[in-house]
Amino acid sequence: MLDVLQKIVCLSSMAILLAWKVFLPTSVYILRGNHESKYYNFIYGFEKELLAKYGDKGDDVYQKCFGCFKCLPLTSIIGKYVYTAHGGLFRSTMAYLKKSKGKKKRKISFNPELSITLSLGTFEELNKAQRMVLDPPSEGSNLIPGDVLWSDPSMDPGLSLNQLRGAGLLWGPDCTEEFLKKFQLKVI
């Protein structure tokens, strides 16, 4: 009986949160966190827990959870003035991109020669990021999801790579001030 209750509580909590979002879309905000990834769900036992609790249906439940995680927004703006994200600020990808040559295959690719230059990104870049990745990359042309999920504030000015986490950035008070002013926000 206790096992059945645990199964119900696990999925009911997620179902209740999603139901609140559906019925109160302007009052409930659900964002993706840095542990909604295949790697961290494996490491911290979420996959194993679902397989143990749901037996033959465990893998299906696990895949449905990832379908949900992939669709969660990375950031939100609440009341026009509050920027929210699990991690924080993100870098501009403009310095990292170069156009390939040729008329038929005009695509943007990672330019490793410019990887030292860091500047704050824009909401336009954020909107173009491929957010439906399950494990955001720490290198390449789609760095914004990893930055948004793994970045941390710092007392030191400027932007720097977050060496401690191995993903995301550290941003200083000057970056906070610049970001708020640039996008007419009041709080991060």
pLDDT tens readout for residues 17-62: 888 888 998 888 889 988 888 888 888 888 898 888 889 998 998 8
pTM score: 0.77
Active site residue 86: no
Judge contact between 66 and 134, C-beta under 8 A.
yes
Judge contact between 114 and 61, C-beta under 8 A.
no
Q: Which of 35, 38, 70, 86 is catalytic?
A: 35
Kind and range of the H or E element at 110?
Answer: strand 108-110
Output the CA torsion sign for 72, 74, 80, 83: positive
pLDDT-derived band of residue 97, with 50, 70 and 90 as boundaries?
Answer: low
Looking at this protein, which amino acid is placed at residue 86? H
Which tokens in the block code for residue 170?
């550290």
